[in-house]
Amino acid sequence: MGNLKLVWNIAVGVGVCANALAQESESATAANELSGGAYYATGDYGQDVDTSIYYFPLSYERQLGNWNLQLSTAHLEISGAGNVLVNVGGVGRNEFDSLDEIASTSQKGIGDTVLSATYQLPSFSARSPFFDLGFEVKVPTADEHKGLGTGAYDFGVQLDAYQQLGQSTLFATLGYKMRGESDLFEQMRDSAFLSLGVSRPWSARLSYGVIYDFREAASAQSGETHELLPFVSYALANEWTLMTYVVKGFTRDSADIAVGTQLNYRF
């Protein structure tokens, strides 16, 4: 599944889209933003049984000059084979007797916590692209013994780019994840990711678009993922924005289908 920076940052693409739309809005000058969302995904991820994921993220973002600082956490529920991770997809896992009971069962709890800092680079001109440089740390607050996380710290870096072309906003993300060593998921490895997208206004308050997301294999026992994410964003008021999206996976280690929504409040 896509990277929920989420949201999100929900999926990586959704987070990029939200930033791109924000640059078109006067309300983007607000110093604070609260975001809450809901995400559901299902698929077999190359396993004998299907895995379902319910993900409820909550994040707070603070703007300090050219810096955007964000703290995200979530409630997470996973039902399935026990080797599918949120923000990663299907992976391998070590076989321990202590983990046998969680295979093909449901587990719930707090997800991992994500701390991120994004620097908005000065633009060269009014017509040149905008660039953001982001840094991320995943704090392993999810219970790895329940299969809700790897139990290791992860680090990420990414470059976001936005370009206005007529009424359309083109955006892209190129990044790299450095994953810490996990006792239960020893096959995890570092990987790169790429997202490409476009958004257009339908009306003064309604925008729509689509995102393509590619990720290298996150473990030695999994493969790369390709996903397509169409979305709709609606400005409920100057401070409130609601985004809804669908995710379609095209590889074994992606979700077959996923749906999500995110509500942002700027103040």
Under the banding of pLDDT at 50, 70 and 90, the label for residue 220 is confident
- The percent of residues in the chain predicted with pLDDT above 90, rounded, is 61
> Do β-strands 240-249 and 225-235 pair in parallel, antiparallel, or remain unpaired?
antiparallel
pLDDT higher at 182 or 132? 132
Q: Which residue has the higher pLDDT, 155 or 30?
A: 155
Which residues lie below 8 Å from residue 229, measured CB to CB, with a gap of 6+? 2, 11, 13, 14, 197, 210, 211, 212, 213, 245, 246, 247, 248
At position 71, the amino acid (one-letter code) is L
How confident is residue 31, by pLDDT bands cut at 50, 70 and 90? confident
**E strand residue ranges, the chain:** 32-43, 51-64, 67-80, 84-85, 89-90, 105-110, 113-121, 130-139, 154-165, 168-179, 191-201, 206-215, 225-235, 240-249, 257-266
Q: What is the mean pLDDT of residues 22-47?
A: 75
Strand 105-110 to 113-121 pairing: unpaired
- Report the SS3 class of residue 26: helix
In a 3-state reduction of DSSP, which class is residue 41? strand
pLDDT interval class at 25 (50, 70, 90): very low
3-state secondary structure of 57: strand
DSSP 208-225: EEEEEEEE--SBTT---E
Rounded average pLDDT over 139-156: 92
146: left (phi over 0), alpha (psi -120 to 50) or beta: alpha
User: So what's the pLDDT on residue 104?
Assistant: 57
> Any bridge partners for residue 110, and if so which?
75
- pLDDT of residue 217 exceeding 50, the answer is yes
The residue-averaged pLDDT of 3-31 equals 45
Residue 44: per-residue pLDDT = 86
pLDDT at 14: 42
Q: Taking 60 as the threshold, does the pLDDT of residue 204 lie above it?
A: yes
Give the phi and the psi of residue 206 in degrees, each rounded to 5: -110, 130
Q: What is the mean pLDDT of the chain?
A: 84
Q: Is 165 exposed, middle or buried (0-12, 13-18, 19+ CB in 10 A)?
A: exposed
Cβ atoms 205, 234 nearer than 8 A: yes
Is the CB of residue 82 less than 8 Å from the CB of residue 147?
A: yes
* Token pair belonging to 126: 């009014």
Q: Are strands 191-201 and 154-165 parallel, antiparallel or unpaired?
A: unpaired
pLDDT tens readout for residues 83-139 = 788 877 777 555 444 444 445 578 999 999 999 999 999 888 778 899 999 999 999
Instruction: Count the neighbouring beta carbons within 10 Å of the beta carbon of residue 185.
Output: 24
Lowest-confidence region among 76-85, 175-184, 233-242: 76-85
Structure confidence by residue, pLDDT tens digits, 48-61: 788 999 999 999 99
The DSSP symbol for 125 reads: S
Domains, the chain, ranges and CATH? Answer: 12-266 (2.40.128.130)
First CA to last CA distance, the chain: 31
